[in-house]
């Protein structure tokens, strides 16, 4: 048995078993990334799809994802790869892509507007070792690294990858601690520390999904946007406010009213200079 040090959970993982994320395991008394290089999704995406609106707009980026996640969001759009107890099934449906092969793929699509690699779809930092190995190669070859993350990892993990990451989109799913604790089985404060640490070291943008009856009040958006504005140069950090659609274990709610998304965006604009609406 060994202790995983990636996120606040500090899972005690017995030999051959898996942590909460279903992507880290114990082998010969050491914690390793079980999903290293095991890619379930790869695509050439517009950079705006990450979403990033103020980082190389109009460009494209090779986007890759593996499987597993250290949150359990009941509204997850990518639950088939992010949250599945069928670890063997996910591993078997993946394709191994070495860092060197990924670099070659990134180079191959440069003439189609590709600027680098985005680590996305599932939570990439539960397999941070792969992100780190790939990001170093991508940087050495003059291309960009983008990270799309829930921000729920220890700062020492972030310290390892920050020198190689050019831009991030970080989910700030709510400003309420209970939202993270009860709904996601997560830790809000770890996400806030992640954002504070990343800010100033690379380009960051934030995303908040507006879920009916959960984080859709004016008061909540006031607190969330005020906190962002309080950061260093926080008023210039882009915030994406996205519309919820029923998915996974949360199909008992209707899609968020479009007018409400626009209304909450207007509230956020009282504090922030760059607010965007999504899925509307």
Distance, C-alpha 105 to centroid of its chain: 22
List C-alpha distances in Å: 191 to 8, 55, 102, 152: 10, 22, 29, 5
How is residue 158 written in tokens? 């972030």
95, HSE (Cβ side, Cα atoms, 13 Å): 7
CA atoms of 220 and 256, how far apart (whole Å):
16
- What are the tens digits of pLDDT across the range 179-225? 999 989 999 999 999 999 999 999 999 999 999 999 999 999 999 99
CB neighbour list of residue 30: distance below 8 Å, 6 or more residues apart: 2
pTM equals 0.96
CA atoms of 100 and 238, how far apart (whole Å):
33
Is 61 within 8 Å of 51 (Cβ atoms)?
no
- 2-278: CATH topology: TIM Barrel (3.20.20)
How is residue 77 written in tokens? 């759009």
Q: Domain map of the chain by residue range?
A: 2-278
pLDDT band at 92 (very low <50, low <70, confident <90, very high): confident
- What are the tens digits of pLDDT across the range 6-27? 999 999 999 999 999 999 999 9
Q: Is the pLDDT of residue 38 over 90?
A: yes
Q: Which residue has the tokens 């990450």?
A: 50
CB atoms inside a 10 Å sphere around CB 96:
10
């Amino acid at each position: 048995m060994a202790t995983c040090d990636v996120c606040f959970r500090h899972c005690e993982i017995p030999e051959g078993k898996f942590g909460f994320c279903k992507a880290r395991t114990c082998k010969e008394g050491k914690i390793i990334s079980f999903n290293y290089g095991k890619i379930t999704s790869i695509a050439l995406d517009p950079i705006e799809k990450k979403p990033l609106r103020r980082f190389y707009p109009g460009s494209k980026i090779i986007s890759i994802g593996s499987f597993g996640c250290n949150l359990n969001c009941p509204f997850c759009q990518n639950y088939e790869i992010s949250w599945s107890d069928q670890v063997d099934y996910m591993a078997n449906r993946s394709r191994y892509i070495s860092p060197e092969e990924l670099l070659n793929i990134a180079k191959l699509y440069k003439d189609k507007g590709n600027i680098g690699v985005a680590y996305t779809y599932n939570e990439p930092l539960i397999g941070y070792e792969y992100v780190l190995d790939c990001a170093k190669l991508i940087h050495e070859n003059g291309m960009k690294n983008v990270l799309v993350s829930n921000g729920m990892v220890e700062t020492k993990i972030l310290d390892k990858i920050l020198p190689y990451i050019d831009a991030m989109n970080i989910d700030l799913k709510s400003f309420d601690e209970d939202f993270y604790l009860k709904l996601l089985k997560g830790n809000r404060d770890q996400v806030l520390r992640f954002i504070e640490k990343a800010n100033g070291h690379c380009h960051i943008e934030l995303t908040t999904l507006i879920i009916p009856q959960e984080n859709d009040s004016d008061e909540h958006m006031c607190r969330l946007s005020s906190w962002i504005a309080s950061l260093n140069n926080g008023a210039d950090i882009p915030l994406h406010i996205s519309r919820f659609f029923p998915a996974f274990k949360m199909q008992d709610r209707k899609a968020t009213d479009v007018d409400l998304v626009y209304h909450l965006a207007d509230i956020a604009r009282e504090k922030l200079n760059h607010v965007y609406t999504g899925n509307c």
